[in-house]
Structure 1
Amino acid sequence: MSALKENVDPPLKKKKPPRWSDIWLKNTKPLKHLVFSMPLQSQTLIPNFPNIDRTLLLSDELLLDVLSRLPLSQRNPNSLVCKRWLNLQGRLVRSLRILDWDFLDSGRLFTRFPNLTHVDLLNGCLFSPRDSGIMLTHRLVSMHMSSGFCSNCKFLQENMLSVQVVDKGLQALANGCPNLRRLVVINASEFGLLTVSEECLTLQELELHKCNDSVLCGIAACENLQILKLVANVDGLYTSVVTDIGLTILAQGCKRLVKLELNGCEGSFDGIKAIGQCCLMLEELTICDHKMDDGWLAGLSYCENLKTLKLLSCRRIDLSPGPDEHLGFCPALERLHLQKCQLRSKKSVRALFRVCETVRDIVIQDCWGLDDDMFKFASVCRRVKLLSLEGCSLLTTEGLEAVILSWQDLESLTVVSCKNINESDISPALATLFAILKELRWRPDANSLLVSCLVGTCMGKKGGRFFKKT
């Protein structure tokens, strides 16, 4: 009987039906939605659930303040956390380069980045094949290109959006970004720019590519514009013309300009004079690859508050500058920067230094034709404190010495990659000058031994605190 009892199965227990509270506690998804909708005042009642996002207890303003204090390198990873963080990071973005025009045209730009102040539309206005392995790189633009490129064609001019499409995008941008401060655009008309001028009253910096005289009528309403870059003609890329008419319109409309760059622009004495007379706050003028008529240098004397003059990639300066009594000079000019210019005309170089006779800093980099005869015209600049020469292969030690010994205020000297300046030709007078300089950077060629020879001497320390070794 005992064996039989052991083989008998125990009676089955009835399984209790599940209670609603047990199911509710095991499945926390509905609870998450409940927690998300709870106000911050009830946060003490929230149970300790491990899968709840604690940052949801923070308001958007507080979380924005936290995210804004993180380094820029963490912004992209932070935007991948969740949709909320993605939207918040978009509100922190102030500067953006548009690569896809549809992103602007569809309106997604303003939803994703509502607080933009700096927008670059240059690459977005160009047709660029993404799958191409050929890259066109220019100092103004960099983009992919097809294999059918011809060097004799205006490549960008044939691969950019129409004026109507660009103007429509500018209108949308003006309505979506009323606090815009900086804009870069190509192939726009005066109507598109006029919309930006009227809607974006805080616009301070503008860069226009492929602009002409009529386009400049559209920025006359930019009363607060301070920095302007005009790119009219670029050889091999596109063609456009800015003349004295456009420069005069610009001068009369944008009277608060502080920095102005003219790239590939035409013009003459009248255009530069108008800028000097109207733009009284202009402090920096950059002229790149200009197409100006002879005699334009004399117009610089009307820029009474100009402090910095830069000439970049100019094939000529001014072949017929006129007599000295008509040239005048810039009374407030402090810095003269010449880079990749052709200094082959003695009249041009002499007139340039005459106009810039008040400069304190002279920087000359990779300029062709600067020999001893050309450099001697710089002796008219009696207030020079800093001289930097780089890539001046025709200048000799004698030519350098003849000029800098006449500068009583010289404090800093840089000579780099000037192969005809030999250390063996350094005279005692030049060595004495080196000894009283506050800063000396001397590397005329790769075989220069001057730095090693100065070890243990007082040269380079007598008049200053340091001697730079390169």
Structure 2
Amino acid sequence: MSVLEENPDSPLKKRPPRWSDIWLKKTKPLKHVVFAMQLQSLASKDPKSQTLIPHFANIDRTLLLSDELLLKILSKLPLSQRNPNSLVCKRWLNLQGRLVRSLKILDWNFLVSGRLITRFPNLAHVDLLNGCLFSPRNSGILLTHRMVSMQMRYGNCSNWELLEENLLPVEVVDGGLQALANGCPNLRRLVVINASELGLLTLAEECLTLQELELHKCNDNVLRGIAACENLQILKLVGNVDGLYCSLVSDVGLTILAQGCKRLVKLELSGCEGSFDGIKAIGQCCLMLEELTICDHRMEDGWLAALSYCENLKTLRLLSCKRIDLDPGPDEYLGFCPSLERLYLQKCQLRSKKSLRALFRVCEAVREVVVLDCWGLDNDMFTSASVCRRVKFLSLEGCSLLTTEGLEATVLSWLDLETLVVVSCKNIKESDISPALATLFCNLKELRWRPDAKSLLSSSLMGTGMGKKGGKFFKRT
């Protein structure tokens, strides 16, 4: 008989195993759960210990991650989750603010109070257009323009008077630009209205990386400040807007701009005045200019000849122009743009064959021609495009006066034509297609043909092999 059997009260006697010991013997993770439950029970019994032992379920595991690592994780999430993520906690709210790069300001006080910089310290693109307008809230009248949208108290005044009444003063706008420049030195893009020369000078001195600027209600004096932005590459100037505001940009301002912003790649002039001298200065000074957009211009006659000085220009856009150039001068003085590749005409009034002929003469090296919803383009005027011998892409949409005969007379002279798009041109009839034009269709790489809603060309060509030679194809629309 052993000693343990003789002395049942001995402390060395082995107690019988419990069911919990057997259950937890090979379940190591569960021991941590039991331990946490024990800590919780101790904390509930002793109120003083609640400050020393935190609740296991309320521990924020993201606190173990640094801000830099958590920023990398949040940046990989889709944009649709940005707002929900910012509601998790204050830390996540601040981190999400550091990820925001582009913002449209609607409340000017948010900018001048400094909250904008604190909330979004890494902004690169800022739109101040609607923020520069103060309008009554809870108003039932809304004025909507293609550039701005604002509420108004009453509707018995003109749009121009309404904008002048609700536009922030120049001094206030300049103060906001100074606050923005001091807080966002890495600003790259800005949209603003009613700024002055001093405000833009401050912006140019502090934001050396500013590359894109859109300036509304611009004039010649303001352009002195823009000229200080030496690294500016994309610029949009809005001078006069019918029914909204009136501001003057002339040859003086264009010359100042050309001498200061010599690294421009894209330039858009909307509602600007000027003449041959202003466009010539831009062409001679801005040697890197590749894209020029002219919208609703008020330029004097003869300005087309200055385009030949833009030797590296690749894209020319004319948008919503009531006229092009009524007196372009003789052909020997027009010249041409040797590097031009694309010509876009959209919502322009093509009233004069002489001006349209001069435009095609300047753009004779073009390879892509797009005419969209332009009034007045008939057969006689479209034949002037025959001078552009290198055209490979032609798109016609909304040219209601052009007929099949006028289309054929021009496109047959373009031996390099590869793509033809004809949409909503009601006077172009399939019944008038000649064998020569049908042969041209066969040799095209791409044909999109929908001159009217009743077009049946795609079905009538089935089985003929048209548009399917080699690797070429016929594309239905």
Q: Deviations over 1:283-305 (max 9, x none)?
A: 00000000000000000000000
Residue 138 of structure 2 corresponds to 131
**Cα distance in 2 between the residues matched to 1:305 and 1:236:** 36
The answer to whether the aligner puts 1:199 opposite 2:206 as a matched pair is: yes
Match of 2:436 among 402, 410, 429: 429
**Match of 1:362, SS?**
strand
Query: What is the identity, as a one-letter code, of the residue corresponding to 2:236?
Result: K
* 1:98 to 2:105 alignment: yes
The question of whether the paired residues in 1 share the 8 Å contact of 2:121 and 2:183 is answered with yes
Q: Distance in 1 between matches of 2:159 and 2:114?
A: 38
CA contact (8 A) 1:396 1:421 kept: yes
**Residue 439 of structure 1 contacts residue 464 of structure 1 at CA under 8 Å; is this kept in 2?**
no
Say if 1:56 and 1:278 are closer, same or farther in 2 by CA, change over 3 A. same
**Residues 290-332 of structure 1 deviation map (CA, whole Å, 9 limit, x = unaligned):** 0000000000000000000000000000000000011100000
Give a deviation string over 1:333-352, Cα, whole Å, max 9, x none: 00000000000111110100
Deviation at 1:221, TM superposition (A): 1.4
Partners of 1:438 and 1:463 within 8 A in 2: no
1:182-204: CA deviation from partner (whole Å, max 9, x where unpaired): 00000000000000000000000
Candidates 311, 315, 326, aligned match of 2:322:
315
- The question of 1:162 aligning with 2:169 is answered yes
1:167–1:189 Cα contact (<8 Å) kept: yes
Q: Given residue 310 of structure 1, which amino acid in structure 2 is its aligned partner?
A: R
Is 1:398 paired with 2:396?
Answer: no
How many angstroms does 1:87 deviate by? 0.5
* Alignment match, 2:216: 209
1:419 equivalent to 2:426? Answer yes
Give, in angstroms, the shift of residue 155 of structure 1.
3.2
Superposition pairs of residues 33-112 of structure 1, within 5 angstroms: 49-112=56-119
Preserved CA contact (<8 Å) 1:436 1:463: no
Q: Is the 8 A contact 1:155 1:238 kept in 2?
A: no
Whether 1:363 and 2:370 are equivalent positions in the alignment is yes
Corresponding residue for residue 386 of structure 1 = 393
Instruction: Give the secondary structure class of the aligned counterpart of 1:150.
Output: coil
SS across alignment from 1:240: coil
Greater Cα radius of gyration, structure 1 or 2 = 2
Helix, strand or coil: the match of 1:96? Answer: strand
1:218 to 221, 225, 238: 225
**Aligned twin of 1:39:** none
Give the C-alpha shift of residue 394 in structure 1.
0.2
Give the conservation status (yes or no) of the 8 Å contact 1:383–1:407: yes
Distance 1:293 1:150 in 2: 32
2:474 aligns with 467
**Structure 1 pair 243/31, CA: closer, same or farther in 2 (3 Å)?**
farther
- Mapped to 2, the partners of 1:278 and 1:236 lie a distance apart of 34
Which of 311, 325, 332 is residue 332 of structure 2 equivalent to?
325
Q: Does structure 1 conserve the Cα–Cα contact (< 8 Å) formed by 2:133 and 2:166?
A: yes
- Give the Cα–Cα distance (whole angstroms) in 1 for the partners of residues 78 and 469 of structure 2: 43
Aligned CA distance change for structure 1 residues 134 and 444 (closer, same or farther; 3 Å): farther
Superposed displacement of residue 25, structure 1: 7.7
Q: Deviations over 1:396-428 (max 9, x none)?
A: 000000000000000000000000000000001
Distance 1:29 1:297 in 2: 80
CA distance in 2, matches of 1:307, 1:405: 25
Give the Cα–Cα distance (whole angstroms) in 1 for the partners of residues 459 and 147 of structure 2: 41
Which residue does 2:28 correspond to in 1?
none
> In the alignment, is residue 122 of structure 1 matched against residue 129 of structure 2?
yes
The 8 Å contact of residues 44 and 50 in structure 2, kept in 1 or not, is answered as: no
SS at match of 1:466: coil
Letter in 2 for 1:116: L
Following the alignment from structure 2 to structure 1, what is the Cα–Cα distance between the partners of residues 141 and 320?
26
Cα distance change of structure 1 residues 424 and 57 upon mapping to structure 2, 3 Å threshold: same
How far is 1:261 from its partner? 0.1
- What is the identity, as a one-letter code, of the residue corresponding to 2:316? L
Asked if the contact 2:43–2:50 (Cα under 8 Å) also holds between the matched residues in 1, the reply is: no
Q: Structure 1 pair 374/163, CA: closer, same or farther in 2 (3 Å)?
A: same
RMSD: 1.7
Aligned-partner Cα distance in 1 for 2:237–2:82: 33
Are residues 435 and 291 of structure 1, via their aligned partners in 2, closer, same or farther at CA, if it must alter by over 3 Å? Answer: same
Q: Does 1:188 align with 2:232?
A: no
* Aligned equivalents of 1:183, 1:334: Cα separation in 2: 29
**Equivalent in the alignment of 1:343:** 350
Q: How many angstroms apart in 2 are the aligned matches of 1:30 and 1:190?
A: 61
The alignment-based identity, stated in percent, is: 81
**Secondary structure at 2:221 match in 1:** helix
The verdict on how the C-alpha distance between 1:70 and 1:26 changes in structure 2, with shifts beyond 3 A counting, is farther
Shift of 1:147: 3.4
Unaligned runs of 5+ in 1: 1-18, 33-47
Residue 307 of structure 2: aligned partner: 300
Moved more, 273-282 or 339-348: 339-348
Moved more, 54-63 or 134-143: 134-143
TM-aligned CA distance change 1:25 to 1:313, over 3 Å: same
Distance 1:161 1:463, change over 3 A: farther
Q: Which runs of 5+ in 2 are unaligned?
A: 1-40
Q: 1:29, CA displacement in angstroms?
A: 5.9
CA displacement, residues 237-282 of structure 1 (integer Å, 9 cap, x when unaligned)? 1110000000000000000000000000000000000000000000
Secondary structure at the aligned position of 1:363 is classed as strand
